[in-house]
Structure 1
Amino acid sequence: MRTPHALLAIAVTAAALAAAVVVAPVPAEGADAVPPPGAYYVQSTVTGLNAADTSGTVEQHRPRGNEDHQQWSLRPDGAEHLLENTDSPGICLGRAGDRARTVACATPEARWRITPLGADRYTLAEPGTDRHLTVVPKPAGATHSAPLSVTTGTGDLAAWYLTPVDARGGDMPPRERRTLDQVTFLTAHNAYANGVDGGFAPPFVDLFPNQTRGIQQQLAEGVRGFMLDIHQTPDGAILCHNSCTLVRRPVALWVDLQRMVDFLRAHPEEFVTVFLEDYVDPGVLRAELNRVQGLSDVLYRPDRTGVRENGWPTMGELAAAGHRLLIFTDHSKDADRSAGLTRDSFGVMYQRDWTVENHWSMGPGVGTSDWSCYSRWYDANTVIPLTRTEPGFRPLFVMNHFRDAALASTAATDNAKLADRARRFCQPAARKKPTYLAVDRYDLGDSASAVAALNTYTYP
């Protein structure tokens, strides 16, 4: 299981936020027009969270479709616009003093002046004033508060996406012309924890495998993303769940990587991604990779091919260059710098540099599940919203869809709903299609059909 641990990434300090709140947003030259009438989420560009009606108070909540009144119907009203809650006809997103509230759509407090900022971002201002709908600045050591305010001089905290409730682009290009970020891959959560290739957990814990088929069969059946937990032992980087203590016949990382490299040699059009939940020293990991024959022939290095400036390559370009195995680590780059050896120096990419990822758990192994889709890397010290983009570059989106414990009956039910959650909940939450759909027991619930459905269209 991918458990939460210390996350060091883009820290937003109180000083930085204080600086942000004194700079008013300026419309960009040639900015986008106001979107056409329709149903939208009002989504913070800073947090990635959505404006929701909570008994009259408008708060930012984790994206969860419309389960808690997060959808708003945008329509013009003279020179201004209204945002009517789709669950409450006649009730609009509005203002009461310095707080965002829901109010009657017929009142002046319901009207907003929407100004494009470019890059599909907008401000919502009280007409005739410089007061804007705003996320409250984050105190040091805390996340942003839920209630939204209406204040002056707001900077990025007043920048919003108006995300369509159901956005679909065009048809998917032919396979060779699809860019990497347009494709969706079936991904096995804890792919090594299968009980076929070897032991993966101490006694009793190993009675609940996340998968029941070995890595080679997973590859043969279309799995193209592999989540692997590695721990350090005297034998190197070993695949185990939480700890390698008392694990019988654990598998070394290099063994599974060799299986993948051999598969890619035999299938030159295929592409595989490995996600390491990484508890080993960088030198140990480098030594482990050096044991894999032919790894350098297929290893993909986006840091050396201009991806951040030019976007992701097409699948045809990757195949032609032989770049067909991408390896990520969730380890901290800052910690590696302190140790004197960074993993990207030998081809293992830091996941937070290249991807966004939703929270890893939908809840316990039984009972109701939490379908909300929000960043794994949003807390008191870290702000990486699922919506993160950069000029010319869109991170790959890892969509986790599994519980705390892998129970077959629960996994079958959850996987049958995978396509629905991806389309209605997680796709608008990230403003991009999932690149990786990560599930337990991929063989249950027909998760492959969800992947196939997502691979029929592009996200606009």
Structure 2
Amino acid sequence: MLQGETHIVNDTIYSCHTSCELLNAGTWQSELETLVQWLEKNPYDVVTFLIVNSDFAQGTTVTNYTAAIEASGIRQYLYEPDYVPQHRSQWPTLGEMILAGQRVVMFMDYNANQTEVPYVLGLSKDLAEENYMYIANHNLNFNIDVSAIIGSGGSILIPNTAEMNVTNGDALQYGRLGAMSENCTGKSCALADTSRKTGYVY
């Protein structure tokens, strides 16, 4: 599975972490073009791709992403479901997806709209919270103050790689997958977007 945080700067989507001033990995279209090259060399692989729409609160929607999708050449590989939403029993097999040439399943975390853009999958927040455990994003980070670089109140989350054994552990304590699973079960997997230090389910 691929996932990446995106931001729009001067009407162009970039792959950035927290802020494009801090970490800019280039245009999102170039990332898709790299994936297209990989798909051409690996014709029997299926990929899932999560678009992290970090500017959703500013009104960025799935339609902002379609130009890069078309220009990159990845559109031909995108899986387009027959049902919205699509339940587990309605999914094709991996073999069927490979034979159809639809080997990339693209999701968006916020502001997807399958009526407008059917090949980018996503549910409304309300529907997801009430009926599905749609996405579980689990991570443990350090919060670094970078206000001296980007101004007052600036911070960036850095992955806490030194404690991956804690983050991915099964014991029921802070930051561990076991604790997240227990929390999700206790709340029927209807959690709103909580602190990204421990992840979110919606």
TM-score (norm 2): 0.62
2:125 is equivalent to residue 345 of structure 1: no
2:8 is equivalent to residue 251 of structure 1: no
Which position in structure 2 is the counterpart of 1:402? 139
Q: How does 1:306-325 map to 2 (within 5 A)?
A: 307-308=86-87, 311-325=90-104
Instruction: Give the whole-Å Cα distance in 2 for the aligned partners of 1:249 and 1:431.
Output: 37
Letter in 1 for 2:51: L
Q: CA contact under 8 A between 2:81 and 2:118: conserved in structure 1?
A: no
Instruction: Give the whole-Å Cα distance in 2 for the aligned partners of 1:289 and 1:385.
Output: 28
For each residue in 1:422-455, what CA deviation from the matched residue of structure 2 results, as whole angstroms up to 9, or x when unmatched? 99747966999xxxxxxx9xxxxxxxxxxxxxxx
Instruction: Give the whole-Å Cα distance in 2 for the aligned partners of 1:407 and 1:423.
Output: 17
Letter in 1 for 2:105: L
Secondary structure in structure 2 of the residue aligned to 1:268: coil
> What percentage of aligned pairs have identical amino acids?
19
2:70 pairs with one of 290, 293, 305: 290
Instruction: Give the whole-Å Cα distance in 2 for the aligned partners of 1:424 and 1:346.
Output: 31
Q: Is the alpha carbon distance of 1:429 and 1:384 closer, same or farther for their aligned partners in structure 2, counting shifts above 3 Å?
A: farther
Q: Is the alpha carbon distance of 1:249 and 1:296 closer, same or farther for their aligned partners in structure 2, counting shifts above 3 Å?
A: closer
Letter in 2 for 1:297: Q
For each residue in 1:387-441, what CA deviation from the matched residue of structure 2 results, as whole angstroms up to 9, or x when unmatched? x36xxxxx7x533221243122122432244997299747966999xxxxxxx9x
2:8 pairs with one of 228, 232, 237: 232
When Rg is computed on C-alpha atoms for both structures, the one with the higher figure is: 1
Letter in 1 for 2:92: P
Which position in structure 1 is the counterpart of 2:107? 328
Shift of 1:299: 0.5
Shift of 1:242: 3.0
2:43 is equivalent to residue 268 of structure 1: yes
Task: Give the gaps of 5 or more residues in structure 2.
Answer: 143-158, 190-196, 198-202
Q: CA contact under 8 A between 2:80 and 2:118: conserved in structure 1?
A: no
Shift of 1:332: 2.7
Q: CA contact under 8 A between 1:231 and 1:239: conserved in structure 2?
A: yes
2:178 is equivalent to residue 421 of structure 1: yes
Q: Is the alpha carbon distance of 1:422 and 1:255 closer, same or farther for their aligned partners in structure 2, counting shifts above 3 Å?
A: farther
Shift of 1:325: 0.7
**By percentage of residues, which structure has more helix?**
2
Secondary structure in structure 1 of the residue aligned to 2:107: strand
Task: Give the root-mean-square deviation of aligned CA atoms.
Answer: 3.9
Q: How does 1:139-288 map to 2 (within 5 A)?
A: 225-234=1-10, 236-244=12-20, 246-247=21-22, 250-278=25-53, 279=55, 280-288=60-68
Secondary structure in structure 1 of the residue aligned to 2:91: coil
Instruction: Give the whole-Å Cα distance in 2 for the aligned partners of 1:325 and 1:228.
Output: 15
Q: CA contact under 8 A between 1:228 and 1:239: conserved in structure 2?
A: yes
For each residue in 1:132-182, what CA deviation from the matched residue of structure 2 results, as whole angstroms up to 9, or x when unmatched? xxxxxxxxxxxxxxxxxxxxxxxxxxxxxxxxxxxxxxxxxxxxxxxxxxx
For each residue in 1:180-220, what CA deviation from the matched residue of structure 2 results, as whole angstroms up to 9, or x when unmatched? xxxxxxxxxxxxxxxxxxxxxxxxxxxxxxxxxxxxxxxxx
Instruction: Give the whole-Å Cα distance in 2 for the aligned partners of 1:430 and 1:266.
Output: 44
Secondary structure in structure 2 of the residue aligned to 1:300: coil
Shift of 1:253: 0.8
Instruction: Give the whole-Å Cα distance in 1 for the aligned partners of 2:6 and 2:139.
Output: 20
Shift of 1:300: 0.5
TM-score (norm 1): 0.30
